[in-house]
Amino acid sequence: MKHYILYLALGLSATLASCANKEREVASSVLNSTATNQPIGSAKFFQLADGKIKMDLEINMPERADSTVAVHFHEHGDCGNMGENTHGHWNPTSESHGKWESDSYHSGDIGNIPLDSKGHAKISVSTFRWSIADGDAKNIIGRGIIVHGGTDDYVTQPTGNSGPRVGCGVIAAVK
């Protein structure tokens, strides 16, 4: 009986330890072309054990092969009017626009993403700057994700002179 309880305890602690290390998907977004409304990518958001939120972003735009696009989170999750209804960059900390992890940048300044010879890219970003908690200024749920047709110069305020809005998605909670 002692061995049975010991094995049960070991199994339970191993199960709990493995659950603590898992990522839990908490939000997602399908990115569509603003011109054709066809899918061009996706973003999945995960709650990490350390409290950070991780975004796995994938873009597939063969028409933009071997180029670079800028990606930003925008205030509103409304992709109407060719993505213009998302309004400006999401900036809950009222910082200047800049490069991710520089001295000053918007929490939605994801940055420039190089596309390969097939127009494909994958990146992951993890940060404490994002949340999914209701009422939290850092809450990303309902924000827009914009793929711009140009590159971010990381200097021009408040947008980085990133070009037209060629892709758009809305961050939605995963239930």
**pLDDT (tens digit per residue) in 27-39:** 999 999 999 999 9
| 22-173 belongs to CATH 2.60.40.200 | yes
**pLDDT (tens digit per residue) in 106-163:** 899 999 999 999 999 999 999 999 999 999 999 999 999 999 999 999 999 998 999 9
**pLDDT (tens digit per residue) in 149-163:** 999 999 999 989 999
Residue 24: how many CB atoms within 10 A of its CB?
Answer: 11
Alpha helices in the chain (DSSP H): 2-20
pLDDT above 80 for 1? no
What pLDDT is recorded for position 22? 83
Query: Mean pLDDT over all residues of the chain?
Result: 90
3-state secondary structure of 133: coil
Per domain, the residue ranges of the chain are 22-173
What pLDDT is recorded for position 13? 47
- pTM for the whole structure: 0.86
Q: Which residues contact 9 (CB under 8 A, 6 or more apart)?
A: none
Cβ proximity of 74 and 89 under 8 Å: yes
Q: Which residues contact 32 (CB under 8 A, 6 or more apart)?
A: 38, 39, 40, 79, 167, 168, 169
